[in-house]
Homo-oligomer: A and B are copies of this chain.
Amino acid sequence: MNYHKKFIDQAVKEAEKALKKNEVPVGAIIVKDGKIISKAHNQRISKNNALYHAEILAIEKACKKLKTWRLDDAVLYTTLEPCLMCTGAVMQARIKKVVFCAKDEKGGAVLSKYTVFDDKKLPFNVEYEYIPDERCSKLLKEFFKKLRD
């Protein structure tokens, strides 16, 4: 957990940026060899693009930075359990491990609606770790409360 904390802190900072833009507050970062390769936050509404989840934007940036489609040995930290699109993207990018800090009961594809990374039918093996972090769920609760009010 201590090793992960500094990276989770950065993902939380990204989620806060999304909240400021009135986006669902989700942040993601990609780490390789102990270094942060890319950071991103959800920009689905502000950039008018269905694909612009934090995880997708972080993968996009990491591929551009490293000039490769293969992010072997990379770890993706995300404040919210990834959806089907994002778990699929993680496998396509050959990311080694995903760490997430809040569950998404409605659309999560790691532990909630689907358990994609546990599925041995699929050709790519991705490790994952759920490290609950209150800041991540609090940001989401705040956002949805504001939306209802």
Show the binding face of A for B, using Cβ within 8 Å: 44-45, 48-53, 56, 59-60, 63-64, 67-71, 83-89, 91-94, 106-107, 109, 113, 116, 121-123
Stoichiometry (number of copies): 2
- Docked CA distance A131–B67 (Å): 36
Asked whether, in the complex, the Cβ of B89 is within 8 Å of the Cβ of A87, the reply is no
**Supplied contacts A51-B93, A83-B92, 11 more A-B pairs, CB within 8 Å:** A48-B63, A48-B67, A50-B59, A50-B71, A51-B63, A53-B92, A84-B84, A84-B116, A84-B122, A86-B88, A106-B123
- Docked CA distance A85–B53 (Å): 12
Asked whether, in the complex, the Cβ of B60 is within 8 Å of the Cβ of A92, the reply is no
- Least CB distance from A97 to B in Å reads 16
Name which residue of chain B comes closest to A86, CB basis.
B88
